[in-house]
Amino acid sequence: MTPFLLLQALVLLGLIVTAVLIISFKDLLAAAIAFAAFSLLLSLEFYLLQAPDVAIAEAGIGAGLTTAIFIIAIRGTQRHEEKN
């Protein structure tokens, strides 16, 4: 039981770290990638809690499609340094 709890504690720690990284990054692309890492860890947590169905949906929608939508939206913007 103890290694299982340790793994879950590590995943939760990673979730907190990536969530703090999302709001602290100034670069939008880096924040989007941190959000993808957050989603991947969340799907791992769902799998550890024995919900593989939700884990597949979270990995597909959260880590894949939402990141793609964010990156496509960022492609439509202009970087601050490239403006001059």
Partner 1 sequence: MKMTKIVRTTADLFFPFCLVFGLYVVVHGHLTPGGGFQGGAVMATGTALLLVARAYDDVTGRIRKGAMKACEATGLMLFLLAGLGGLFHGRAFLGNWLAQAGGLFGNRVELGANAGDLYTGGLIPLLNFGVGIEVLGGLTVILLYMLSGIKEEKK
Contact with partner 1 (CB under 8 A) among 11, 22, 31, 71: 71
Among residue numbers 2 through 61, which ones bind partner 1 (CB under 8 A)? 52-53, 55-57, 60-61
- Rule CB under 8 A: choose which of 76, 81, 83, 84 binds partner 1: 76
Closest CA relative to residue 46, chosen from 65, 28, 61, 26: 61
Q: Does 68 bind partner 1 (CB under 8 A)?
A: yes
Angle CA(44)–CA(70)–CA(42) in degrees, nearest 5?
Answer: 10
**Binding test (CB under 8 A) with partner 1, winner from 19, 21, 25, 64:** 64
HSE at residue 75, side-chain half, CA atoms within 13 A, is 6
